[in-house]
Amino acid sequence: MLSTTLSIILTGLFFSSMFLLISNSLTLIVYVLKILNLAQGALFALGAYITITVIGWMSTLNLPLELWYLGFIITAFIMMLIGICLEKGLISRAYGETMEIFVLLTNGIGLALYDAIKGIWGVFPLMIPYLYHSAGNLSFYEISFPTYNLFVIIIGYVLSLALWLWLFRTHSGRVIRASAIDSEMSRALGINVRRIYTLIFALAVALCGLAGAIIIPIRSAVPGFGAEEAIISLAIIAAGGLGSFKGAFIVSHVMGISRAFGISFYPEIELAIIFLIVAIILAIKPTGLFGKEERRL
C-alpha cells in the first residue's frame, strides 16, 4: 500500500511540476499584462518541436549525451525571441481593450500556431531517442521511478522558486510588480512600462516553451500536443485566483496529485474530476482561492 501511494504521489508531483511551469507562465502574463493567454498550448507545443529540431541537430554533431541538455536552454532562448515578436507584432496592437478581446486574439493566434507547427514539422509523430532512458531509473521501497521524471520535478520547483525570488525579493522585481499594480503611476514615475510588458511576455513564452522542451524526451510530439495541459492550466489559474502565484502553486499540486490518483483508481472520470474540482472552487469562491475581490456587476 505504501509503495503504491508513494509511486502515485511521485507521479502526481511530476504532473504538478509541469502544470506549475505552465501556470506560472500564464500567471505572469495575467499579473503584469492583465491578459488571459489562450495560446499557451500552442506555445508549449512549439517549445517541444523546437527542442526536437535543436537536439536532433546536436545529435548529428556527435556530442556526449550530457551536453544535449543544453538544447533546452537554446530552445528557451529561441522561444524568448518568438515571444518578443509576438508581443510587438500582434498583442501590443490591442492594448487598452477588454480582456475578452485578448482571449479571442490569443485563441486565434493559438489556432494558427498549431497549424503552422503542422506545416513546418509535418504530421508524423517525432521523438528524441536515447535521452529518456539513458538517465536510468531509481529503485527504492519496491518502486522504480525514472530519473528523468525526477529531473522534471526538480526543474519545476527550481524555476518557480527563481521566478518568485526575482519578483518578490529583487529591485527589478519590485519595478515589475509596480507596473503590474498600477501601470499609469509607474509610467508617470518614469518606468518604461511598454518594455516591461515585452520582457515579461517573452519570459513567459520562454518558460512555457521550456516546459514543453523538458517534457518532450518522454513522449512523442504530435499535432495537438499540449492542448490538454494548457486547458487544465487555465482551469488551475482560474481556481487559484488570476494573477496569484501562491494560488497557482497550491492548485497545481492539487490538480497534479488528483490526476495521478484519478488515473490509477477512477479512470472513467479522471478528466471530469479535474474540471469538477475547478468548477466547485469557482462556485464557492468566484475569484478563485487567492484572487482579488471583483465588482459583482
Partner 1 sequence: MSSSESKVSRRDVLKVIGGLIVGGVVGGLAGYFSAPVREVVKEVVKEVPKEVMVTPPKREVPKEPIKVGVTYWASGPQAAAGWHLGIGAHIAADWINAEGGILGRKIQLLVGDETAGPAEIVKLVKKWVTEDKIEYLIGINSSSTAIAVAPVIEEELHIPMMIGAATTWKLFEEIIPKPYYVFRVVRSNAAETILTIEVMKRHYPRATKIAEIEPDYAYGRESSQVFRAALKKIWPEAEVVVECWPPLGTTDFSAHIAAISAAKPDIIYGSLIAGDCINFLKQAVAAGLHKTCIFALEDAVMSTMNELSPEILPEGSISSTRSWWFEYPWNLSWRKKFVEECYSRGRKYPQFEAASTCASLYLYKAAIEKAYAMKGEYPAIDDIIHALEGLITLTPAGYCGIRKDHEGYGIVTCGIVKHTTKYPFGYTLDPIYIRPIDEYLPPEGVKTLDWIASW
Partner 2 sequence: MKKKSLLYIGIIGIMALLAFLVPFFLSSFWIFIIGYALITSLIGIGFNLLLGYNGLLSLGHAAFFSIGAYSFTILMKMLNIKSFELLLLFALAITILFATLIGFISLRHIKIYFVLITLAFNQTIFALIYKLYWLTRGSDGLTVPTPIILGMHLEVPKTYFINFCFYYYILVLFIALTVIMWFIVNSPFGRVLKAIKDNAVRVEFLGMPVWKYRLIAFIISCIYASIGGILFAVFNGFISPDYASLLFSSEIVFLTILGGTDIFWGPIIGAFIYSIIRIYLVTITIYWQFILGAVLVVLILSFRRGVSGALTELLSKFRKEVK
Q: Which residues bind partner 1 (CB under 8 A)?
A: 3-4, 7-8, 10-11, 14-15, 118, 123-125, 127, 129, 132-133, 135, 137, 139, 143-146, 148-149, 215, 218-220, 222-225, 259-260, 263-265, 267-268
With beta carbons less than 8 A apart as the criterion, state whether 8 and 143 touch.
no
Q: Residue 283 interacts with partner 2 (CB under 8 A)?
A: yes
Residue closer to partner 1 by CB (options 263, 277) is: 263
Quote the least distance from Cβ 239 to partner 1, whole Å. Answer: 21
Minimum Å gap between C-beta 23 and partner 2 is 13
Residue 213 contacts residue 72 (beta carbons within 8 Å): yes
Segment interacting with partner 2, rule: CB under 8 A, options 18-26, 63-71, 105-113, 201-209: 105-113
Site string for partner 2, 210-249 (x = CB under 8 A): ---------------------x--xx--x---x-------
Contact partners, residue 233, CB within 8 Å, separation at least 6: 19, 22, 23, 26, 40
Residues 208/21, Cβ–Cβ less than 8 Å:
yes
- Produce one character per residue of 102-129: b if its CB has 16 or more CB atoms within 10 Å, e if not: beebbeebbeebbeebeeebeeeebebe
Report the C-alpha gap between 238 and 244 in whole angstroms.
10
229 contacts 140 by C-beta, under 8 angstroms:
no
Cell of 81: 525571441
Minimum CB distance to partner 2, residue 115 (Å) = 3
**Does 184 participate in binding partner 2 (rule CB under 8 A)?**
no
- Using CB distances below 5 to 8 A depending on partner kind, what does residue 231 bind out of partner 1, partner 2, none? partner 2
Smallest distance from partner 1 to CB 2, Å: 10
What's the Cα-to-Cα distance from 261 to each of 152, 264, 266, 274, rounded to whole Å? 19, 5, 8, 11
Binding mask 122-151 for partner 2 (x = CB under 8 A): -x----------------------------
Residue ranges binding partner 2 (CB under 8 A): 36, 90, 93-94, 98-101, 103-105, 107-116, 118-119, 123, 231, 234-235, 238, 242, 268-272, 274-276, 278-279, 282-283, 286-287, 294-297
